[in-house]
Amino acid sequence: MKSQKKILVTQPVLPPLEEFIPLLEDIWESKWLTNNGKYHQEFEKQLADFLGVKYISLFSNGTLALISALQELRITGEVITTPYSFVATTHALWWNGIKPVFVDIEPKHCNLDPEKIEAAITPKTTAIVPVHVYGNPCNVEATQKIADKYGLKVIYDAAHAFGVEKSGNSVLNYGDISVLSFHATKVFNTIEGGAVICHDEETKKRIDYLKNFGFAGETKVIAPGINAKMNELQAAYGLLQLKTFDEQITKRKIIADTYRELLTNVEGISFLKDIDGVKHNYAYFPIFVDEKKYGMSRDKLYEKLKEHNIFGRRYFYPLISNFSTYQGLESARFSNLPVANKIADEVICLPIYPELEIENIKMIVDLIKF
Ligand SMILES: *Cc1c(COP(=O)(O)O)cnc(C)c1O
């Protein structure tokens, strides 16, 4: 059974073109294309309401948002982070001249393991940068406790966690700053884009300066800022995306539930379950292949699916710590990261997106079963 067309790990949702055109006409008319225009302002406002956060600053992408968040908090020295993420998490540290210190993950949700953080703290440590991997919230309480004890900042890479809530509260409200990505492959997209979420007006103001070269007025530059502004076309597009987000998550949940139902009792294949009290966004559907029990390696299954036009992705393999740029770091050695290395060798993220048909899910599961 081979799919007629290629099924990729994700497929972006676009707003209806007929709703976008009038907004484009309005922008054409105004000739205001970027630099905190009216759509930018409106999108920031609606987004903050939608997500249940106080202050949000839009960015051109998630990587620059993370780099700027670290700048804003003046993070230096060493920062504790996870190797089990997209490479931009560590790159953002590197661009700030910060030494990444990798700490292993916990096997249940693949997030930074708070129990292993303390052992990695040195006099040079200034912050912790965890990732809510697959949108599953980190153990935010335990992480904050350690941060408070040692006087460290916490910056969450929340690129996967758009719309995720814990006990009715946005997961973006934890830590000092959280960062989102609106890249085309993410659960909420503005083609490219991102945001910084913070908890006070002063921080928001400084972040707004930082993304615009450090300008705090026409003739005043207060910091060596960067250019990371979101433009009006993307902000207008984002406003339309908000209207259908809840409906998209409902569709994603049905897909995740279908996968779970069909994959139950498949020997050697495991997957993540929903967490009590958490509102999930079903951004990804990772499965973990236990080669011995399943009788086939992860890579063999991955290739088999590809031969049948099913293009899952091995998020996150290789680990960031195993890329040549970072593998020389002491904390990158295998013996320091046994759980992350094991999971990176077992994972495949299966296709999940609102328009994925149930027939296709059945076909994918049949390929995994037989
Ligand atoms: C996508 C992603 C980023 C980078 O975001 P961009 O908007 O593509 O720059 C950073 N961290 C994680 C975990 C991501 O998945």
* Ligand 1 atom nearest 66 alpha carbon: 10
**Calpha distance 139→128 (Å, rounded):** 13
27: phi > 0 → left, psi -120 to 50 → alpha, else beta; which? alpha
**Using a 6 Å CB cutoff, which residues line ligand 1?**
61-63, 85-86, 88-89, 131, 157, 159-160, 181, 183, 194
Q: Read off φ and ψ for residue 91, nearest 5 degrees.
A: -55, -40
Using most ligand atoms within 8 A of CB, pick from 89, 110, 172 the residue to mutate for ligand 1. Answer: 89
Cα of 2 to ligand 1 centre, how many Å?
A: 32
* Mean pLDDT confidence for 183-211: 98
Between the CA of 81 and the centroid of ligand 1 the distance, in Å, is 15
SS3 content of the chain, % helix, strand, coil (to 5): 40, 15, 40
> pTM, whole model, 2 decimals?
0.98
Domain extents in the chain:
7-11+243-369, 17-241
Six token digits for residue 108: 């249940």
Question: Please, which pLDDT band fits residue 65 given cuts at 50, 70 and 90?
Answer: very high
Please tell me whether residue 195 adopts helix, strand or coil conformation.
Answer: strand
pLDDT for position 124:
98
Mean pLDDT of 13-34: 98
Q: Which fold has domain 17-241?
A: Aspartate Aminotransferase; domain 2 (3.40.640)
Ligand 1 midpoint to CA 13 (Å): 18
The mean per-residue pLDDT over the stretch 138-166 comes to: 98
Q: Judge whether 169 and 220 are in contact, CB under 8 Å.
A: no
Task: Check pLDDT > 90 for residue 209.
Answer: yes
Confidence of residue 366 (pLDDT cuts 50, 70, 90): very high
Answer whether residue 218 shows pLDDT above 80: yes
Q: Name the residue of 70, 111, 180, 183 to mutate for ligand 1: max ligand atoms within 8 A of Cβ.
A: 183
Q: What integer is the mean pLDDT of 108-116?
A: 98
pLDDT in tens, 118-129: 999 999 999 999
Cα–Cα distance for residue pair 155/89, rounded to 1 Å: 11
Amino acid sitting at position 151: G
pLDDT at residue 2, rounded to an integer: 79
| Distance, C-alpha 126 to centroid of its chain | 22
Residue 370 has a pLDDT of 87
Tokens 């230096």 belong to 76
**To test ligand 1's pocket by mutation, which of 171, 172, 180, 181 has the most ligand atoms within 8 angstroms of CB?**
181
Cβ(73)–Cβ(177) below 8 Å: yes
Structure tokens that stand for 102 in this block = 């990798």
Dist. CA 146–CA 127, nearest whole Å: 10
Nearest to 269 by CA among 239, 293, 233, 304: 293
Q: How confident is the model at residue 4 (pLDDT cuts 50, 70, 90)?
A: confident
Q: Atom 10 in ligand 1: which residue has the minimum CA distance? A: 88
* Domain 7-11+243-369 in CATH 3.90.1150.10: yes
**C-alpha dihedral, 10 to 13 to 160 to 134, nearest 10°:** -40
What mean pLDDT is predicted for residues 293-316? 97
**Tokens encoding 212:** 């615009």
